Amino acid sequence: MIVGIGIDLAEVERYRFDAQKRAWFARKVYTEEEMAYAMRKRLWAERLAGFFAAKEATRKAFGHAIPWNAVGVSHERSGKPVIRLYRGYERLLVQRAVRAVHLTITHTATTAAAFVVLEG
């Protein structure tokens, strides 16, 4: 049974920060794992846009705001992206009877998109 779905688009250009703004935005929005992953990539702005879209899609799937840095994108060994909840928000999975969170992210040079399905 589907408990929730969410989709979001992010314009990559909005994530091409200078170092100072990137550090400020990172503290507010991203997890340390997300920043480390993105900054290892040549096209890091595309990754940051994708992560932001995944966070927003997750918030939409749950139907309410969750603090940005309490939603994180991680990766399985295969490279598959997965959503992780932090800072006590893991309880939402139990409260909503969510058995699995499915995530897909894609991006081009200009746009990133993410789609989340909460399975109960």
- Annotated catalytic residue: which of 21, 41, 64, 107? 107
10 Å Cβ neighbour count for 70? 19
- Annotated catalytic residue: which of 60, 64, 80, 102? 60
Known catalytic membership, residue 80? no
Known catalytic membership, residue 60? yes
- For Cα atoms 28, 33, 14, give the angle at the middle one, nearest 5 degrees: 50
**Strand boundaries in the chain, DSSP class E:** 2-11, 71-75, 81-85, 100-107, 111-119
Q: DSSP letters of 38-51?
A: HHTSTTHHHHHHHH
Which of the residues are catalytic?
A: 60, 107
